[in-house]
Amino acid sequence: MTNRGKKESGLRHLKKFLGILGGLLLVGSLFMLTGCSEEKALFLDVPTSIEADTGGNVTIKGKTLPDTDVKIGLGIIGDSTTSDEKGNFSLKYELSSEDESSTIKITAKSDDDKKTKSVTVKPNAAKMSSQKAASSSSESAAKASESSASASSQADQAKIEAVAKNYTTSYQVKFQDYTVIYLINEKTKTIAMTTSDEPEHVSTSQYTGNFNDGIDFNMDGLAMHAHYHYVDQPAALIVTDESGNENKAVQIDPATSVQYYHLYK
């Protein structure tokens, strides 16, 4: 081969080598650009839901690009932070109501790019279960108390009616410190007397006469007399003791007297 032929062959090999080298450099550049582009693409990884502790507090951990601003909501009231060199971050949040879930938005922002995701913060399940059990227990106790009170009320009402049916009418004389109660059975001509301050002490006596003309009876050794204030008008009764002291007694339903002054106990 002549010198010229050798020179042309060498040039062809050089061009071929430069072409291969240029191709490799181009592929490498594209690879590097593509790799850099992928590394810089903003992302945000956070849990879709998280359970609060018994105090309603949570720490939300996530990952994004390194040195990226991350915040809850607008970051004014909600917590905000900057991710570390590995892109890790954590944000704190407190439920406003410990028995209701809350959905919050977390945003990662880098330069002009940003990513936002929603996280549902749930109340503490164990605490909710405990509160539900306590509420159920309280409701059961309240119902039991109501039932007991109702049964007691019904029993008391039965006692009141049983005592009241022994009398046809009742009168009361009000003094400054106490009240005298008279319970009368006009069929058996019986009169019972007690006071509001000692309702457990009841004195009973037979009486003679009628209420228009006047009745006479003896109460604990004390002779007494009584008559209607107005003839055939039982609304008021004038009661007189043996010393001549007169007191006006006002008619009242026997059941009312028995219930109000607890004469059924």
Parallel, antiparallel, or unpaired for β 49-51 and 113-122? parallel
- Show the tokens assigned to 108: 């990662």
The reported pLDDT for the residue numbered 21 is 61
DSSP state of 168: S
Which of 155, 84, 99, 178 lies closest to 132 in space, CA to CA?
A: 99
Torsion on CA atoms 75, 77, 78, 82, rounded to nearest 10: 40
The pLDDT, as a whole number, for residue 37 is: 46
Quote the CA–CA distance of 115 and 194 in Å, as a whole number. Answer: 87
Predicted pLDDT at 135: 76
What the block records as the tokens of 117 is 């995701």
- How far is it, in rounded angstroms, from Cα 90 to Cα 70? 9
pTM for the structure as a whole: 0.47
Within 14-112, strands assigned E span 44-45, 49-51, 57-64, 69-72, 80-82, 88-94, 102-110
The contacts of residue 234 (CB under 8 Å, 6+ apart) are 169, 211, 228, 251
Q: What is the pLDDT of residue 4?
A: 57
Q: What is the pLDDT of residue 62?
A: 96
Regions of the chain with pLDDT less than 70? 1-39, 75
Q: Which residues contact 35 (CB under 8 A, 6 or more apart)?
A: none
How is residue 65 annotated by DSSP?
S
> Which strands make up the sheet holding 113-122, listed edge to edge?
49-51, 113-122, 102-110, 69-72, 80-82
pLDDT at 22: 61
Domains of the chain: 44-126 (2.60.40.10), 162-260 (2.40.128)
